[in-house]
Structure 1
Amino acid sequence: MDVLFDNLDVFANGFYTTIQLFVVSGIGSLILGTALAMLRVSPVPVFRSAGTLYVTIVRNTPLTLVFLFFAFAYPRLDMVDLSFFMTACVALTVYTSAFICEVVRSGINTVPVGQAEAARALGLGFGQVLGTIVLPQAFRSVLPPMMSMLIALLKNTTIAAGFSVAEAGQIRSILSERGENQLLTLIFVAVGFILLVMILTSVQRTLEKRWSVAR
């Protein structure tokens, strides 16, 4: 336990940054992924094609390459100057949103078509039908796979350690310089991630119980 208590500041700062990365990119992924899902079910062919193209390209691109693009290629475009932390958030959001999109789209497909048709018969537009009738039911039906995507996002934050972001994935290299036992360091890092995943799983179960009662 000396490895943990003697370097508690390193573990605390590393996991604090990891949680920040997860929260920011998680919210961004849910928003962008939902928007992409709306494009993919849009009645406008151009929107559907744009959503499909994005998902196809990003899902088949390794996350490390997405990081490399925003870390090295994006700055050469002379656009917005991003910090290392924000670069990691953008890369994680761009990548994860493609998977969130497919999860949300599968949830949309579970909603009976008759409900959307009835809403349109009442005069509701496409956006109103999705926002008030379809999406709330879709999110309830895809909660388990959605949480699985968020857990994968949490673990993917460790890639940011290779791009100058001092998060949990960089704890090992920091403690290596201090001469600490590497095996114990990795064990404590793994335990930290296990605890975070357990929290997310608990949130999932709570939401499942609450939404099952609501139904």
Structure 2
Amino acid sequence: MEVLTDNAGLFWQGFMGTVRLMCLSTLLAFALGIVLVSFRISPVPLCRGIGATVVTVLCNTPLTVLFFAVTLGLPMLGLTGASYFTLAVLVMGGYASAFVCEALRSGVNTVEIGQAEAARSLGMSTLQAAVLIVFPQSGRAAIPPLGTVVITLVKNSALAGGFSVYELFSTEKTLVERGYAVAVVFLWVTAAYLVLITVVSTGFRFLERRLAVPR
């Protein structure tokens, strides 16, 4: 307990760094994921091709490579105004957006095509039918895989610690450098990650029960 009590402020700083990184990355991932799924289900072949290409590239590129590409590539291009935290949010949010897109697309496939056709027969545009009819239902059906994406974001946030972003993994490195036992520090950091993941998974299970699609 001494490791925790003597360094409570440091642990709290790292914990809140992970929480901020997770929340902002999640918001960005959901925003970009909705845009990508709009491209993926678009009736325009060019839009579908662009959406499929972006999703394929992001899903098949290791997150570490994206971190290196952004944190090292942008300064080489003269773009040095953003902080490492901002860059980490962009990398993690952009990476996760591809998985959000696929989760939402799997939800879209559960919505009967007749509903979209009925909406268009009433005079709605394709965009209106998607936003007002398809997306609300597909979002409810996609809650379980979306929860998995957010939990993965929490775990992936540890990579940001290797790129000058202070979060839980950075706390572990700092305390080990101060001479604390690696196993003890690792235990407390792991416990903090488990607490965060438990809160996220519990929240999504509640949403899944509350917004379950009647069958």
TM-score category (smaller protein): over 0.9
1:169-188 correspondence to structure 2 within 5 Å: 169-188=169-188
1:118-197 correspondence to structure 2 within 5 Å: 118-197=118-197
Secondary structure at the aligned position of 1:212 is classed as: coil
Alpha carbons 2:140, 2:213 under 8 Å: kept: no
How many matched pairs? 215
Secondary structure at the aligned position of 2:124 is classed as: coil
> What is the identity, as a one-letter code, of the residue corresponding to 1:71?
T
* Partner Cα distance (2:77, 2:178) in 1: 39
* Partner Cα distance (1:194, 1:53) in 2: 34
Alpha carbons 2:70, 2:91 under 8 Å: kept: yes
TM-superposition CA deviations, 1:73-107 (whole Å, max 9, x none): 02222347210100100000111111111111111
Change (3 A) 1:80 1:31: farther
Q: Counterpart of 2:62?
A: 62
Q: Counterpart of 1:36?
A: 36
Alpha carbons 2:175, 2:185 under 8 Å: kept: yes
> What is the identity, as a one-letter code, of the residue corresponding to 2:35?
A
Change (3 A) 1:53 1:213: closer
CA RMSD of aligned residues (A): 1.4
> What is the identity, as a one-letter code, of the residue corresponding to 1:205?
R
Q: Counterpart of 2:21?
A: 21
The answer to whether residue 87 in structure 2 is matched with residue 87 in structure 1 is: yes
* Partner Cα distance (1:213, 1:62) in 2: 34
- With normalisation by structure 2, the TM-score equals 0.96
TM-superposition CA deviations, 1:60-82 (whole Å, max 9, x none): 10000000011010222234721
TM-superposition CA deviations, 1:152-191 (whole Å, max 9, x none): 0111000000000011111111001211111011111111
* Partner Cα distance (1:204, 1:92) in 2: 20
Q: Return 5+ residue gaps in structure 2 as ranges.
A: none
- With normalisation by structure 1, the TM-score equals 0.96
TM-superposition CA deviations, 1:130-152 (whole Å, max 9, x none): 11110110011111111001000
Secondary structure at the aligned position of 2:179 is classed as: coil
* Partner Cα distance (1:155, 1:58) in 2: 18
* Partner Cα distance (1:79, 1:179) in 2: 37
The answer to whether residue 207 in structure 2 is matched with residue 207 in structure 1 is: yes
Fraction of identical pairs, as percent:
40
